[in-house]
Amino acid sequence: MRRRGPSAWATQRPTWQEARPALIADAVKRASLRPAGNWFVVGAARDVRAGGPPRGRTVGGVEVVLWRSDSGELHAGPGACPHLGAPLRDGRVACGTLVCHWHGLALDGEAFAGWDPYPVHDDGVLIWVRLDAVGDEEPRASPPVPERPVAGSAVDAVFVAVGRCEPQDVVANRLDPWHGSWFHPYAFADLKVVRAPVDEEDDTFVVDVSFRVTNRLVVPVRAEFTASGPRTVLMRITRGDGATSVVETHATPLTAPTDDQPLTAVVEAVVATSDRRGFALARAVAPALRPLMRRTAARLWRDDLAYAERRWALRSAGRLPA
Ligand code: FES
Ligand SMILES: [Fe+2]
């Protein structure tokens, strides 16, 4: 941690000349062409409990229900009951089977009466569902789970927010690191983009930035941003406190592509680690730490979703500066 003297917001070095719209647009375009094999992040793994209530999600206009058996095995499938269409998210899980609350049809996760399960994957932090009708890509057997600090040495927290925009607007916000200390002065200081991506081979932003702990105390780090898929941007801390920690931002469309009022969920996983003494303690108190980590993410995402929503509003009106 470092002490930092006070400085006025308006005296920072402007970044707008470096943050070239074409550079950002090209990076967004390249990201959009990366395959995700029709896999979509739908939320935090710990939100679907073994034997707990089913959860409902909507992805690209498709209703999905998720539940776990008592042993923790995860199931996913269409959210409407195959009998008369009851919302299965309002059903109950009994002995590992999902029981519809209208007339008692029971699903054990296998295909039944016209109900066909969706491939689902629990990566330990997030849940992914494969929806071939939504993705329109070549399906892949497993989702593109980013590399993370080893389980057990990290604290993770998952934050979810919804914005009136499309996934590409969320990605575009993340691929503009230059807005950091201007737009989020409460969280960042002294942001400098050391390297911007040039092409497919070299597609990483390298950023030096100080995270504000308090007004005077900052943690300087180097971070790398890459779009690992059409809807995912990774930030990895490569130097400084917390090195190897990752922040994964996943943008999942909730509405169908034809919807003229799009909604997108931002599912952000922070997997934090540190060599500092005290981090072992932090791990032990992870349940208490999680709400704090989520609160930080919530504040940043309030602003970043305003950015993404603004981009969508301009884009859909054909008024995005190019
Ligand atoms: S609607 Fe589900 S059992 Fe009838
Ligand atoms: Fe931001």
Of residues 218 and 42, more confidently modeled: 42
Q: How far is the CA of 73 from the centre of ligand 1 (A)?
A: 23
Residues 223 and 293 in one domain: yes
Lowest mean pLDDT among 4-8, 74-78, 183-187: 4-8
Q: How far is the CA of 179 from the centre of ligand 2 (A)?
A: 6
Flag whether pLDDT at 215 surpasses 80. no
Please state, rounded to an integer, the average pLDDT across all residues of the chain.
92
What mean pLDDT do residues 211-218 have?
Answer: 82
Of residues 221 and 255, more confidently modeled: 255
Q: In what order do the strands lie in the sheet with 39-44?
A: 39-44, 126-130, 120-122
| Interval 98-146: pLDDT, tens | 999 999 999 999 999 999 999 999 999 999 999 999 998 999 999 999 9
What's residue 7's pLDDT? 79
Place 213 in a pLDDT band, splitting at 50, 70 and 90: confident
Residues 70 and 184 in one domain: no
Residues 77 and 113 in one domain: yes
Range of the domain at 249: 11-35+150-316
What's residue 282's pLDDT? 67
Residues 263 and 125 in one domain: no
Contact 74, 122 (CB under 8 A): yes
Residues lying with their CB under 5 A of ligand 2, a single-atom ion? 304
Residues 79 and 88: their CA atoms lie apart, in Å, by 5
What mean pLDDT do residues 212-230 have?
Answer: 89
What's residue 19's pLDDT? 97
Residues 60 and 195 in one domain: no
Residues 20 and 164 in one domain: yes
Torsion sign (Cα): 301, 304, 310, 315: negative
What's residue 166's pLDDT? 97
What's residue 295's pLDDT? 77
**Ligand 1 atom with minimal separation from the 86 CA:** 1
Q: How far is the CA of 39 from the centre of ligand 2 (A)?
A: 25
Residues 126 and 171 in one domain: no
SS3 of 93-116: the string is EECCEEECCCCCCEECCCCECCEC
**Ligand 1 atom with minimal separation from the 91 CA:** 2
What's residue 322's pLDDT? 67
| Interval 39-57: pLDDT, tens | 999 999 999 999 899 999 9
Residues 78 and 107 in one domain: yes
Q: How far is the CA of 106 from the centre of ligand 1 (A)?
A: 9
What's residue 153's pLDDT? 77
What lies within 8 Å, CB to CB, of 133 at 6+ separation is 60, 62
**Ligand 1 atom with minimal separation from the 81 CA:** 2
Residues 305 and 176 in one domain: yes
- If one counts the domains in the chain, the total is 2
Residue 233 lies in a domain: yes
What mean pLDDT do residues 195-215 have?
Answer: 90
CATH number for 251: 3.30.530.20
Of residues 199 and 58, more confidently modeled: 58
Max avg pLDDT among 85-89, 183-187, 208-212: 85-89
